[in-house]
Amino acid sequence: MLTKQEIRIKNKKIRSKLNINVISEKIISNLFKTQEFINANNVFTYISFGNEIDTSKILQLKNKKIYVPKIINSSMFFTKYDKNTLIKNKFGIYEPIDGYPNTPNEHDIVIIPALAADKTFNRVGYGGGFYDKYLRDIQCLKIILIPDVLLEKNIPHETHDIKSDMIITENQILLNKINS
């Protein structure tokens, strides 16, 4: 089995060769059709960076309250999205200049970035652990948007790694019945 770091390197290369715009359209369309997304009032999502699944259509929604992450030191929190108050952080990712922390509840969804996922709902992120720390004690629906080609057979995971509740690809929607 590959290590998390080996999976990151391999999947960054694979993702760089994908037509991420076309794949993102299909994945976002699948997300918007789910009852979980339709019923959610609050959506906590990342602002896409580089060749991640494009979240711009989520950010443009007017019928939902949208929250995006802000990183301070080694902690992350989510704050209300306002496209007019964004700056690049130390990672080169857009985030709000400031804002008040907001915490999702059981009726909200959090969309988590991933470089890889498996069908047991584990994920490999970028290695900072921000989402695992943030989601540790929060009850909400955790969703990974990822191309089919980045679904791994098995991902190494540790006890502190947070499993997702749903994985949405361009061709399938997987629901973690254990977590739901």
Is pLDDT above 90 for 83?
A: yes
In the chain, pLDDT over 70 holds for what percent of residues? 98
DSSP letter for 91, please. T
Q: Tell whether the torsion through CA atoms of 56, 54, 71 and 173 is positive or negative.
A: positive
pLDDT in tens, 55-76: 999 999 999 999 999 998 888 9
What confidence tier does 127 reach under pLDDT thresholds 50, 70, 90? Answer: confident
Tell me how far apart the alpha carbons of residues 32 and 36 are, in angstroms, rounded to a whole number.
9
Confirm if 71 and 5 have CB atoms less than 8 A apart. Answer: no
Q: Does residue 127 contact residue 54 with C-beta atoms inside 8 Å? A: no
> What is the pLDDT at residue 179?
55
Q: What is the pLDDT of residue 90?
A: 85
Range 29-33 average pLDDT: 98
Q: Are 93 and 47 in contact (CB under 8 A)?
A: yes
Enumerate the domain spans of the chain.
4-175
* Range with lowest mean pLDDT among 35-49, 89-103, 110-124: 89-103
pLDDT at 123 over 90: yes
State the CATH class of domain 4-175: alpha beta
Could you read off the pLDDT of 148-170 as tens digits, one per residue? 999 999 999 988 889 999 999 99
32: alpha, beta or left? (left if phi > 0; alpha if psi -120 to 50): alpha
Average pLDDT for the chain? 93
The pLDDT value recorded for residue 73 is 84
Question: Mean per-residue pLDDT for 130-150?
Answer: 93
Considering the entire predicted model, what is its pTM?
0.93
Q: Across the chain, how many H-helices and E-strands are there?
A: 5, 12
